[in-house]
Amino acid sequence: LILHKLIGHWPHIIVIGLYFGIMALCIGLGCLIGELISPQLNGHSWRQRYSGLSWKLLVPATLVMLFVAGLLLELGYQVNPEGRKSVQDLVLVIDNSGSMQQTDPDNERLTAAKSLIGQMDGDKRVAIVSFESTAQLVQPFTPIGTDAEKQAVYSKINNMQAILSGGTDIGLALDETIKEIETQGNAEKGSLVIMLSDGFSELDTQTALAPYIARQIPINTIGLKLAESEGIALLQNIASLTGGTYSNVANAQGLTQAFGKIYNKIGDRTLVTERTGEYADSLYFAIYRVTALVIIGVLLGLALGLMFDNRFLARNFAIGGVPAGLLAGLILERGLSGSPIG
């Protein structure tokens, strides 16, 4: 329930902290009730003389300690290698030129844009730039954490259908996009651009892409029914120079899948959910996750020892937490990747 309801709406570090904290509380509460019913670990004198202390230590030793531990471990898991920023802001740059009346008569690109926004996590922001012979900011950066916020963006997208005219000026689209990122973007978080076009325009890529390269903003380009080599080469070059990807979509019905595929590569992850994106098969994150679960296992054992105020239980349960945490980490790492375990 915690993962399903809160991930995408609350910061990952808070959600995972709560996840481990509440899990530890449930384990501690179960052990405490079990000991009150049949005191096997501490003896009858504990139930008569010290059970009150255990009730007082229950929450700080389990919920609080594991919440803090989970929060800190998840914080480290969210740090990208090489100092890359986690993506929070996404800009959709959509070709609305006259040629789209032939390549996308049913406005599938707008449907694809709305579908992508519908699947985005609530902690993300989106902006939309439309371009033809000119470029305009259709939607400044806005959060999409609620259904009402998403519906407001859908309305802006629907209004784009009546603007079909003119040629294709990718340079103006790039200028308008970087202007929004520089003025309204979150400097502490990363940005990602998805650009869709069915045409070609003259462009000094080195000049136009310099601010994107400097800020490490990947531009993922999609060519719709592009047959001319110049148009394909331009979009490929834009993606290559900025660290993005290029894909060629043969018909407009494939745009929803193409948009979703790019979004899925952003690289969402937590210690207890599947790792996606460029770090999906990362050895660094695999080792980190297994190590973090070992630490959680040790701390769960330590929490029970603290709760019962028994150093022997703390030592033995903490030692037992090592293989338990190791096994849990390996199951998560191998199972979530879809690999056979044997």
List pLDDT tens digits, range 210-226: 999 998 899 999 999 88
| pLDDT above 70 as % of the chain | 94
- Fold for domain 86-264? Rossmann fold (3.40.50)
Query: What mean pLDDT is predicted for residues 88-109?
Result: 91
Q: Name the DSSP class of 240.
A: H
Q: Which two tokens stand for residue 118?
A: 């519908």
Phi-psi region of 131 (alpha: psi -120 to 50; beta: other; left: phi over 0): beta
pLDDT tens for each residue of 270-327: 899 888 666 778 899 999 999 999 999 999 999 999 998 889 989 999 999 999 999 9
The phi and psi torsions of 274 (rounded to 5 degrees) equal -65, 145
Q: What is the pLDDT of residue 325?
A: 96
Query: What mean pLDDT is predicted for residues 246-274?
Result: 86
The neighbour count for residue 265, using CB atoms within 10 Å, is 18
- Across all residues in the chain, what is the average pLDDT? 89
Question: 168: pLDDT confidence band, cut at 50, 70 and 90?
Answer: confident
Q: What is the pLDDT of residue 342?
A: 45
Please state the separation of Cα 103 from the chain's center in Å.
Answer: 32
Higher pLDDT, 195 or 260: 195
Higher pLDDT, 135 or 336: 135
Kindly tell me the number of DSSP H helices and DSSP E strands found in the chain: 14, 6
Extents of the domains making up the chain: 2-78+272-335, 86-264
Please state the separation of Cα 84 from the chain's center in Å.
Answer: 14
Q: Which two tokens stand for residue 70?
A: 């989970």
Higher pLDDT, 303 or 87: 303
Does residue 265 register a pLDDT over 80? no
245, 235 contact by CB (below 8 A): no
